[in-house]
Amino acid sequence: MIRGVLFDMDGVLADSEDYICRAAITMFSETGIQAAPEDFKPFVGTGETCYIGGVAKKYGLEADIEKIKARTYEIYCEIIKGNLKALPGAVEFVKEVLRRGLKAAVATSADEVKMYANLREIGMPASIFHATVNGLEVEKRKPSPDIYLKACEKTGLRPEDCLVVEDAVSGIRAAKAAGCRCLALETSFDKSLLYEADWICKDLSEVPEQALNW
């Protein structure tokens, strides 16, 4: 029986992919590298260490990952001000989850600074959730199940009683490996790539009723 919903953040609650991509491209340009948006696609949903580090490796940039990540976040936090919006249905769906008496948690591969910045900007502060988990709290990131197992631990729920809401293939695999059911959104990847999820919908404004009733 469903007792909680664990939300990925980027591509689920917030449409932030374009902004973090722009921030990373700007950061790389400061090092003399002209990265392109398609360079980042393989690393979507894996957290900024992989997202930025993977592209750095592609271009042979030997740099302190924490340093270039911090610079990327500086740029990111500036460009999202007044621009980052919640994805369709996100605010309403979180409210519905809470109205039903279910526990709600955010479990994102992003670092803490990005998690708090995003949630604050879209009007869903971390305080409305029963728990949050960011990428710095786990050793292995998605598709490893660690982040969702940590969210279950923090909410006091069993994985089999939780629904994970994801947009990325790596996130779906993490959810299923953790033993959770999964609702996938078509906000970042083509529907044909999301087949491992239990349910698929366009965004949180079109969630099938059965995803919250099992």
Kindly list the catalytic residues.
8, 10
Q: Which amino acid is at 16?
A: S
The residues that bridge with 165 in the sheet, in sequence order, are 7, 183
- Exposed (0-12), middle (13-18) or buried (19+): which is 125, by Cβ within 10 Å? exposed
Distance CA 167, CA 13 (A): 10
DSSP string, 33-85: ----HHHHGGGTTS-HHHHHHHHHHHTT----HHHHHHHHHHHHHHHTTTT--
